[in-house]
Amino acid sequence: MAPVTSLPTDIYLARALEHIHGRVTVVGSANADLTVHTETLPRPGQTVLGTPVRVLPGGKSANQAVQAALLGASVKFVGAVGEDHHGELLRASMHRAGVVLTDCVQSSSETGTAVVVVDNSAENTIVISPGANNDVTDALVNDHADAVRQAKVLGLCLETPITGALAAARLAAASGTLVLLNLSPYRSVPAELLRLTDVLIVNENELADLLPPHVASGLNDFDSDDQGRIAAGLSQLGVEQAVITLGPRGSLVIEGASTTVVPAIPTDAIDTTGCGDAFFGTVLAALASGTPLLDACRLASCVASIAATGHGAQASYADRARTAACLTSLASLQIR
């Protein structure tokens, strides 16, 4: 098993960032995030006071597309928004980041929304109302098949119908496009979708839902035997490459029988909403540009740490220049 790796401060990662250019397509969701901050998250049956509601651009797939584009990737978004103010907000945010929207359709349904509550510890709860995201079925994906076929890397999540994600994965597999799947929000998926996935990215909770309890446990101390057991469990599902995100404890990168821990970068978190999507979007952009998976995750650790220092998802995301400054700052501090 590989030892714990250094944080992403070396020259190679800075050069990898400079050369991000690859073609990425993200198929999935776009939501308007109705966000309120509270001192503590409410318990069942409890009412708490919150700040005024802010409407911010979000949705896992839109977030991932925005982050990949901000870092320099050529990104297309396949999805649906309503003909309403929230749809305009989301299209404007993606357009500003450089995402190509020719495959984002307008739906007769309302734009998807998410109710996001964030506490003083930067933890959050999220409830999603899919709206137009329910239009992202196999029919819509097949109508926009060229966007998938022409990409180097495809990004998928589970905020839209499984039929659409599976159709996209089939198109990608047939055309040699790398498939990255984020099992979020978690639900059971066809075994075929996992087999078609080249890189699976999940957090601890999603891993626990995916694997039997005796297999998914044991990540607290990064014991190599536990890591190997998890890698073997994923392999039985047809997944040979995976990234397990562990919040402030970093991430575990699995490549066949090899496992490597990538530490998180310490930061004063304000709001962790969308940090996982910033991580995923960075990996999409890096892999599409030829960066190895392990180094893509090292870079993603830096980008996600920046996202945690701002409010909301897309509104907190760093572009290439800000990410480069983060890498330079870490290097000057000689964090290893």
Q: What is the pLDDT of residues 12-23, one digit of tens each?
A: 788 889 999 999
Q: What global pTM score does this model have?
A: 0.90
Q: Residue 336: what pLDDT?
A: 47
178 in a domain, yes or no?
yes
Q: How far is CA 205 from the centre of its chain?
A: 15
Beta-bridge partner residues of 105? 80
Amino acid at site 10: D
42 in a domain, yes or no?
no
Domain that holds residue 313: 11-30+58-111+131-332
Question: If you average pLDDT over residues 164-169, what whole number do you get?
Answer: 98
Burial (0-12, 13-18, 19+ Cβ within 10 Å), 273: buried
Q: How far is CA 119 from the centre of its chain?
A: 22
46 in a domain, yes or no?
no
290 in a domain, yes or no?
yes
pLDDT band at 312 (very low <50, low <70, confident <90, very high): confident
Question: If you average pLDDT over residues 14-38, what whole number do you get?
Answer: 94
Q: How far apart are CA 22 and CA 29, in angstroms?
A: 21
Tokens of 318: 């760093």
How many domains would you assign to the chain?
A: 1
Q: Work out the number of other CB atoms within 10 angstroms of the CB of residue 334.
A: 7
**8 Å CB contact between 300 and 86:** no
66 in a domain, yes or no?
yes
The CATH number covering residue 289 comes to 3.40.1190.20
126 in a domain, yes or no?
no
123 in a domain, yes or no?
no
